[in-house]
Amino acid sequence: MQHQYLFLDAIVENGHHGGLGYAEFQYFRQTPVVLTALLIGYFGRRSHMGFKRVLIANRGEIALRILRTLRDMGIEAAIIHGREDRLSLPVRMADVAYANYKTNPLDSYLDIESVIQAAKELKCDAVHPGYGFLAENAHFVSRLQEEGITFIGPSSDVITLLGDKIQARAAMEAAGLPTAKGSSEPIASADVARNLAEEIGYPVIIKAAAGGGGIGMQIVEKADEFEGALKLCQSRARSAFGDDRVFVEKYILGAQHVEFQVLADGKKAIHFGERFCSIQRRHQKLVEEGPWLDDEKRSEIGDLVCRGAEAVGYKGLATFEFLRDANGDFYFLEVNPRVQVEHTVTELITGFNLVELGIRVAQGEALPLSQEDITWRGHAIQCRLNAEDPREFVPSPGRLWECHFPSGFGIRCDTHAHPGYEMPGCFDSLLAKLLVWGHDRDDAVRRMRTALDETIITGVEHLIPLHRRIMDESDFIKGDITIQYIDMHQELLG
């Protein structure tokens, strides 16, 4: 037994744990020597195969979220940052930081060659894009591959496929996912589009093939509005995306927005259930919660999204988004090929660290879980605390004078904010994600009311007053919610 301790202590003296974390190392000190040698070999191989250092190509709360998980996994966290974020918590906490100051602050995170240069200079094995910025840029993924750097996410081919709403619709339809009536090809002419709209039946929606975030979408109620709406949609799509291809779908009246969380390793996929995301402003979500469906419907749609992910060879975290009509029927909307802002809701009700699982798959591991391992417990709600005027949803940059977030049983807050933090006006306005868990939805709503009341933010406008009113509103309490919720409850805006 003495030989065992000498062997392990010698490893430590040489500056490493043989691929083990500290807790694993302490455990193996109590393990028979032969078994210890075998386990050391296993974990040593695991360490050799895994990432040593990962560059976080993002900022704000998601950068901090990724950083914490990297530390939990024993991986060094590097970060690239602009001038505005030089004193931010993610930059302060990173093992190493790379200053990338640009005249346009957005370019600090969008300049592909600068990000790759940072990854190379800092000797990073991989890049985690978070959400936004370069997270869905296929060219960025291709350039990383050329440089021998792993992108934590799907391949460039899959991103290209899913980024084209027409191709994505066709691929998912072929995999068996339900889609709304509509065109399977770009609109060739106004006459063809008008005839299709008549066949589908009004109202219809015209969408940009390269669209996202509600950009390049027009709802058409009547035939005499169609041609003008088509030209406007094409013009906006050309301006925003450099691609004026559009398609037409049946517009789902009174729809709810439901999305499914998926993890895949390139061959097999599993799902972590659904999130309900119908409370939105300008096609951006404000409140997310889950679970929402009964077990039978969850299993049915869950099987379909796994089939869709496997059909395209998806690797990493993905979110399959659907519209659900008043009859309970689902219609495929899109796939977001990245971690979502609201992934945290799923973490609370399943108990799994989704960011860690995405990193493990990117390292080359097979799925570490089976579908049978995923269960759902209780109910979670997330409120996005944006620094915005709650009446007009206009960004409200500035210095935070007071900043206090709640804690306690069933409460989680993901934020990069702190007293004295200067909220820049050039980036997304998300300040914090406030989450609660309850034994059921009523319990979660009560806890969210308490958590919102405890939250103190001064120095900028924010959405806390709006969220407080939502939590007390009768339709919300009953769950009578569609994507028109905010439009139908303008009194909530104060």
Bridge partner residues of 322 (DSSP): 258, 332
Describe the chain by its helix, strand, coil percentages, rounded to 5. 40, 25, 35
> Which residues 6+ apart lie within 8 Å of 371 measured at CB?
270, 271, 302, 306
- Does residue 446 carry a catalytic annotation? no
CA distance 118 to 120: 5
Residue the block writes with tokens 């950009």:
215
Helix or strand holding residue 59 (H, E): none
DSSP result, 425-438 = SSS--EEEEEEEEE
Q: Which of 338, 360, 384, 447 is catalytic?
A: 338
CA distance 208 to 218: 9
Within 10 A of 146 (CB to CB), how many other CB atoms are there? 9
> Which residues 6+ apart lie within 8 Å of 1 measured at CB?
33
> Which residues 6+ apart lie within 8 Å of 470 measured at CB?
279, 286, 287, 476, 492
Q: Are strands 126-128 and 53-56 parallel, antiparallel or unpaired?
A: parallel
* Both tokens assigned to 4: 């065992």
- On whether the CB atoms of residues 223 and 176 are closer than 8 A, the answer is no
> Which residues 6+ apart lie within 8 Å of 469 measured at CB?
492, 494
Catalytic residues: 338
